[in-house]
Amino acid sequence: MSLRHNVLLFLCIFPFTNALYKQWIPDTNFDNATNWDKGSVPCGNDQVVFLAQSKVSVYVETAHTITGMSLPVDGELILASGAGFTVREGGDPGCGSGVTAHFKDSESQKWFDPSLWVAATTIDDLHRGTYQFSVHEESVPCQYDDVVFREATSFRVDVSSDYDVPVKSVSVLGKKFTSSSEFSQYLSSNSGKLQFHGSSSLKVGNSGCNDITGCICDNSGNRDRICSNVKCDSLECKKPLNPVGHCCDVCGAVVNVQFSSSFNFESYRQRLQHLFLSQHKYESIQMALSKVSKEQRLLRVIPFGATQEIQVLLLDQKTGQEAGKLAEALARDVVRDVHNHGLNFGITSAEFQASSGASSSEAAGNNAGVVVGAVLGSLLGVCLLAAVVVLYRRGIVKIPRMPSIPSLSKWKNSSEIGELGGPLDHGFDNPMFDKPTMMPEEPGLYGTEMINTITLTPSGVHFVNPVYDETDFNA
């Protein structure tokens, strides 16, 4: 089977989308030991306390025996089948002397905290724990993503933002909401008010990504909120990189891929995972694949538009001076693969930057880079010429006139001027010296005596300077 047939089969297997399933990690389950200040689930000799002013929806999976319980003013207990509470004094020899267990406050858990989400390409990968690494802006749900709150769990999440938060769908307690009206009814219920709170509204029913080349996440409007929940590590690499959509500089490599309309985002993700990340030497590499928009600048200064490209962020687990070297090696392999096979996947060119300071670019095909460079150079020249013509016609730009050059015949005729006995060239009028009224009156300075002292000789023009007149000097 040819490489082209393999590519077509590859495109048929994987969907034409880069939307993900984003699952919320925390919960407010009674049976989750991390939700208790003592680090363990209350047992038969313990007293259970919920803060009186807390607003919380607690999911209870099993039956429990306790000595007492203090409930909040505004809260709920969701009991699974067979779950419940028995209250009695002592009687549990395996529980020790008994303690007062406080349920932790969950008010601080925010929707825009990247560390509180995991992502997967399919719901099965989500259940298996096969997660995708993403840049910080894409670690929280994007507008095309399906949001999942695990079955048999409850939660409380702060959805505060300056904008509405759009997503494709939301699954809560095993029910999937895909329409805005249906989900709005749930948000107005007692459980919905306790689980979702904040200044903005969560909008469900956004269309999925229908672009084969992928879709831009577009969480940049909430970048400040996202990055406020991220702590960046100190770096030791030579030239840290700042990938689009990431809150922190990193040691590693970034590959920027230019693509055509036949490019398939999801199939290329799978190609990189199966061709490279499955290799033993690269198994520790984290890869984040994103479609991003980058501002274009003429001469790297003047902005003139934006272009879309695929960003491949590669991070390794090494630290110190070794950080980023393995990621750079993988970046070189990816760029080399684009050079050899990129056209088969709708990729026109790729380049990489590494935190070591190294960089490289490759065009798909042998001479494609030369052709693309020549075409872009020609287009740029035509555009600049057209711009000058338009500005000239509108009068914004004026082309200065060149000084006229006298003809040879005129030059020849004028060369006779100045010969002995011919007319004198007086040049231009000087108001300081041509008009006697412009200077203080000095006897004889501008009189006939001065004019009569000018004589013509074969050697040139001579005049008498009254300041150094011979008679005055002798005197």
Q: What is the pLDDT of residues 180-203, one digit of tens each?
A: 999 999 999 999 999 999 998 899
With cut-offs at 50, 70 and 90, classify the pLDDT of residue 2.
very low
Give the whole-angstrom CA distance, residue 139 versus residue 113.
8
With cut-offs at 50, 70 and 90, classify the pLDDT of residue 171.
very high
With cut-offs at 50, 70 and 90, classify the pLDDT of residue 233.
very high
Give the whole-angstrom CA distance, residue 350 versus residue 263.
13
Give the whole-angstrom CA distance, residue 33 versus residue 193.
25
Where are the alpha helices (H) located in 228-324, listed in sequence order? 265-272
pLDDT in tens, 65-88: 999 999 999 999 999 999 999 999
112 vs 371, higher pLDDT? 112
Amino acid at 42: P
With cut-offs at 50, 70 and 90, classify the pLDDT of residue 262.
very high
For residue 408, pLDDT beyond 50: no
Angle between the 3-13 and 265-272 helix axes, to the nearest 10 degrees? 110
Q: Tokens 């419940």 appear where?
A: 84
22 vs 414, higher pLDDT? 22
For residue 372, pLDDT beyond 50: no
Amino acid at 138: E
Amino acid at 161: S
Give the whole-angstrom CA distance, residue 174 versus residue 167.
17
Give the whole-angstrom CA distance, residue 391 versus residue 76.
70
Mean pLDDT of 343-354: 96
With cut-offs at 50, 70 and 90, classify the pLDDT of residue 363.
low
Distances in Å between the Cα of 146 and the Cα atoms of 23, 116, 141, 142, 204 are 8, 15, 8, 9, 9
With cut-offs at 50, 70 and 90, classify the pLDDT of residue 31.
very high
Structure confidence at residue 398 (pLDDT): 63
- Output phi, psi for 141, to 5 deg: -60, 135
With cut-offs at 50, 70 and 90, classify the pLDDT of residue 474.
very low
With cut-offs at 50, 70 and 90, classify the pLDDT of residue 300.
low
Mean pLDDT of 230-258: 95
For residue 93, pLDDT beyond 70: yes
Within 10 angstroms of residue 171's Cβ, the number of other Cβ atoms is 19
Among 233-242, 299-308, 346-355, 416-425, whose mean pLDDT is lowest? Answer: 416-425
With cut-offs at 50, 70 and 90, classify the pLDDT of residue 146.
very high
Structure confidence at residue 445 (pLDDT): 47
pLDDT in tens, 36-49: 999 999 999 999 99
The DSSP H or E segment spanning 334 is helix 325-341
Among 18-22, 99-103, 293-297, 471-475, whose mean pLDDT is lowest? Answer: 471-475
Structure confidence at residue 20 (pLDDT): 93
| 3-class SS of residue 378 | helix
91 vs 142, higher pLDDT? 142
Structure confidence at residue 317 (pLDDT): 83
**In the chain, how long is the greatest CA-to-CA distance?**
142
Give the whole-angstrom CA distance, residue 398 versus residue 102.
80
79 vs 406, higher pLDDT? 79
Mean pLDDT of the chain: 83
Give the whole-angstrom CA distance, residue 24 versus residue 142.
13
Q: Tokens 């590494």 appear where?
A: 354
Mean pLDDT of 208-218: 94
Distances in Å between the Cα of 172 and the Cα atoms of 111, 146, 187, 278, 291 are 15, 11, 11, 34, 29
212 vs 366, higher pLDDT? 212
Mean pLDDT of 412-431: 51
Distances in Å between the Cα of 406 and the Cα atoms of 104, 167, 243, 413, 426 are 96, 77, 64, 11, 20
Report the DSSP pairing between strands 47-49 and 100-102.
parallel
For residue 5, pLDDT beyond 90: no
Structure confidence at residue 219 (pLDDT): 95
For residue 12, pLDDT beyond 50: no
C-alpha atoms less than 13 angstroms from C-alpha of 142 in its C-beta half-sphere: 28
User: What is the DSSP secondary structure assignment for residue 133, as one 8-state letter?
Assistant: P
Structure confidence at residue 270 (pLDDT): 95
Q: Residue 90 CA to chain centroid, in angstroms? A: 59
Is the Cα torsion angle 171, 245, 330, 351 positive or negative in sign?
Answer: positive
For residue 116, pLDDT beyond 60: yes
Among 26-35, 141-150, 198-207, 431-440, whose mean pLDDT is lowest? Answer: 431-440
| 3-class SS of residue 300 | coil
Amino acid at 44: G
**Residues 318, 326: contact at Cβ < 8 Å?**
yes
For residue 288, pLDDT beyond 80: yes
With cut-offs at 50, 70 and 90, classify the pLDDT of residue 403.
low
Q: What percent of the chain has pLDDT over 90?
A: 64
Distances in Å between the Cα of 46 and the Cα atoms of 70, 72, 94, 130, 275 are 12, 18, 11, 38, 55
Within 10 angstroms of residue 41's Cβ, the number of other Cβ atoms is 18
CB environment 8-22: b (16+ within 10 A), e (fewer):
eebbeebbebbbbbb
Query: Radius of gyration of the chain from Cα atoms?
Result: 41
Give the chain's end-to-end CA distance (angstroms, integer): 119
With cut-offs at 50, 70 and 90, classify the pLDDT of residue 435.
low
Give the whole-angstrom CA distance, residue 54 versus residue 72.
6
Give the whole-angstrom CA distance, residue 475 versus residue 227.
96
Q: For the CA atoms of 436, 441, 443, 444, what is the dihedral angle to 10 degrees?
A: -20
Structure confidence at residue 399 (pLDDT): 61
Q: What percent of the chain has pLDDT over 70?
A: 72
With cut-offs at 50, 70 and 90, classify the pLDDT of residue 7.
very low
Structure confidence at residue 428 (pLDDT): 56
Tokens of 110: 């925010």
